[in-house]
Amino acid sequence: MADRRWWDAGVMEPKVSIITLGCPDVAALRRFYVEGLGWTPVMEVPGEVCFIQVGGGVALALWRAEALAEDSGAPVGEPGSSAVALAHNVDSGDEVVDVLARAEAAGATVLKPAGPIFFGGIQGYFADPAGFRWEVAWNPGWFVAPDGSVSLAGPPE
């Protein structure tokens, strides 16, 4: 097989946009990161989800474990399952479909097919062969820079 690079058509670009921690108590984990460590939330819905911009354009999302399980279509916290989701943000809804198809062809299990989501974008989930879940999403309100970093506040001015 020829050496393929991420910029070749049909190859999932190697980047992580968001690390989601499915947690039993969002408020308690928020207190740890925000009040304890001094990190600054950039967007949140109290008790539901808290986004914190972390180094290199990656966001940390603190989200209710039940919501992560429901959203991804796979249980959280059972033996062999993880309360962590990695996110790969892309530039269009069509790209969400393409990345999910590529992942499935490579041996992933599609947990949730691409489809519209409450924030106005397109999203789907797959589990890699070891069971780690990945969200693939296009969010029209977020900016993905050419280097792959994601800004929850939009493009730099």
What span, in angstroms and rounded, lies between the C-alpha atoms of 40 and 35? Answer: 9
Q: What is the pLDDT of residues 55-75, one digit of tens each?
A: 777 888 989 989 988 998 888
CATH of domain 18-147: 3.10.180.10
pLDDT band with cut points at 50, 70 and 90 for residue 121: very high
Extents of the domains making up the chain:
18-147
Phi-psi region for residue 21, left (φ > 0), alpha (ψ -120 to 50) or beta? beta
What span, in angstroms and rounded, lies between the C-alpha atoms of 114 and 100? Answer: 8
Residues in the chain: 157
Q: What is the pLDDT of residues 77-107, one digit of tens each?
A: 664 466 788 888 888 999 999 989 988 888 8
Q: Is residue 124 within 8 Å of residue 139, measured between CB atoms?
A: no
**What pTM did the predictor assign?**
0.63
* Sequence-distant (≥ 6) Cβ neighbours of residue 143 within 8 angstroms: 150, 151, 153, 154, 155
Residue 7 has pLDDT above 60, yes or no: no
What span, in angstroms and rounded, lies between the C-alpha atoms of 125 and 38? Answer: 31
